[in-house]
Amino acid sequence: MGPGVSSHDVIVIGGGAAGLFAAGTAGKRGRNVLLLEHQDKVGKKVLISGGGRCNFTNREVSAKNYVSANPHFCRSALAGFSPDDFIALVKKHAIAFHEKTLGQLFCDGSARQIVEMLLSECAEGNVSVQTNCNVEEITHADERFTLKTSNGELACTSLIIACGGLSIPKMGASDFGYRIAKQFGLAMEKSAPALVPFVLTPEERAHYADLQGLAAPSIVSNASIRFAEATLFTHHGLSGPAILQISSYWQPGEEIAIDWSPQKPLFEWLKERKTRGDKLQVHNALAEVLPRRLAEFFHPTPAALQEQSDAKLRALSDAIHRFVVKPLHTTGYDKAEVTRGGVSTSELSQKTMEAKKVRGLFFVGEVVDVTGWLGGYNFQWAWASGYAAGQAA
């Protein structure tokens, strides 16, 4: 090792959720840890998450909540560090939190509390943190990694890559982690924006223009999966939780179907109202089940329910229960919450996140081909994978 080289047991590249947690975990084991972040502060994506309140985990987490070429890979890390483990840490730091729908946990206060907690854990492990530090080159020889950085030359025996994916480039996202994986000969799974809104064709956007800003309960499905959450019409096309969820499973050119009346079989209900002799306009009847704008979109012309044949009512019901669109594309990495794909899980130990081909090289968090659902699952993967690597590095 040359003169002027700063040597450490562990260097973590990336000061997001997974990197901070990995660094703190390794530091508390007594390892000499340095964390490098190329931006001016750590945890920027954490700070904006959950509308600024950080949806830091979900009460119920399993492998089914993740998309990966190997859907079983995440099981070991998730079992090794569970939501209950992270909740215990949040409680230890006296951070008040609450549960929203579907098991999602948020800070009562600010996401800043989670970043401060992670930094406190790092401080407890005597982790050194350098911001505004760009890594220019990484070499590996004699089981040591040497890093040329804007802050000088560094060395370590364990290197943890935690620099995320391609989503939200304005927040500093880059392909750096992918380039490192390729440099060391690791296979990759094709990356794509995930948890991202859809863009519809100009003709469809014009057709649905009166529905912009409208959100309604729905079931959104494709050939492989379905999600029961709200869908939102936007000036680009479609968004809302159900759309973001299914975007992680969507392939270009694929149709998706939306059921706008997930709780009520409309044909039977409309037929019953008609048989009962209710003197209603069709759109007024629909407005008892759907938002009025959506009811009027599906039946824009005044017509008495009594005058509708069963065939017409069934066709109307079918159109509402199976509203099919074929997205043009997504809004891309600028609006994507996460990146699908990344470092192939076939290259990593599921217990430690260490590269099988390169001793001492670890990949954690979003850079790995494990993508969680909306609702705290990606943070739980950050904690679990960071913990696994931090225990081993």
What's the pLDDT tens digit per position in 299-308?
Answer: 999 999 999 9
Clarify whether residues 349 and 325 are in a common domain.
no
Strands 6-13 and 33-36: parallel
In a domain, 118, yes or no: yes
> Tell me, what DSSP letter sits at residue 59?
S
Clarify whether residues 174 and 266 are in a common domain.
no
In a domain, 220, yes or no: yes
- Model confidence at 278, pLDDT cuts 50, 70, 90, reads confident
* Residue-level pLDDT at 6: 93
Query: What's 319's domain CATH number?
Result: 2.40.30.10
Contact 141, 156 (CB under 8 A): no
pLDDT at 339 over 80: yes
In a domain, 274, yes or no: yes
What's the pLDDT tens digit per position in 20-43?
Answer: 999 999 999 999 999 999 999 999
Q: Is the pTM of this model over 0.85?
A: yes
CA atoms of 365 and 382, how far apart (whole Å):
5
Clarify whether residues 362 and 270 are in a common domain.
no
Clarify whether residues 269 and 212 are in a common domain.
yes
Instruction: Give me the amino acid identity at 23.
Output: A
- For 345, the domain range is 6-190+340-392
pLDDT at 393 over 90: yes
Q: Which of 331, 356, 374 is the last residue of a domain?
A: 331
370: helix, strand or coil: coil
**CB contact set of 38 (below 8 Å; sequence gap of 6+):** 132, 133, 134, 135, 172
Instruction: Give me the amino acid identity at 158.
Output: S
Clarify whether residues 39 and 149 are in a common domain.
yes
In a domain, 257, yes or no: yes
Clarify whether residues 186 and 201 are in a common domain.
no
Q: Which of 331, 353, 369 is the last residue of a domain?
A: 331
In a domain, 238, yes or no: yes
In a domain, 1, yes or no: no
Q: Which of 331, 358, 376 is the last residue of a domain?
A: 331
Radius of gyration, CA atoms only, the chain: 25
- Model confidence at 277, pLDDT cuts 50, 70, 90, reads confident
Query: What's 41's domain CATH number?
Result: 3.50.50.60
- Model confidence at 4, pLDDT cuts 50, 70, 90, reads confident
Q: Per-residue pLDDT averaged across 90-117, rounded?
A: 97
What's the pLDDT tens digit per position in 203-251?
Answer: 999 999 999 999 999 999 999 999 999 999 999 999 999 999 999 999 9
* Residue-level pLDDT at 17: 98
Contact 178, 342 (CB under 8 A): yes
**CB contact set of 116 (below 8 Å; sequence gap of 6+):** 93
137, β-bridge pairs: 148
Total domains in the fold of the chain:
2
- Model confidence at 3, pLDDT cuts 50, 70, 90, reads low
In a domain, 147, yes or no: yes
What's the pLDDT tens digit per position in 123-135?
Answer: 999 999 999 999 9
Contact 320, 295 (CB under 8 A): no
Clarify whether residues 302 and 357 are in a common domain.
no
Clarify whether residues 242 and 381 are in a common domain.
no
* Residue-level pLDDT at 268: 96
Q: Per-residue pLDDT averaged across 372-393, rounded?
A: 98
CA atoms of 331 and 335, how far apart (whole Å):
6
- Share the mean pLDDT of the chain: 96
Q: What is the DSSP string of 173-186?
A: --SHHHHHHHHTT-
Clarify whether residues 166 and 221 are in a common domain.
no
In a domain, 90, yes or no: yes
Clarify whether residues 152 and 248 are in a common domain.
no
Contact 58, 361 (CB under 8 A): no
> Between helices 377-392 and 17-27, what is the axis angle to 10°?
30
Clarify whether residues 26 and 116 are in a common domain.
yes
Clarify whether residues 80 and 124 are in a common domain.
yes
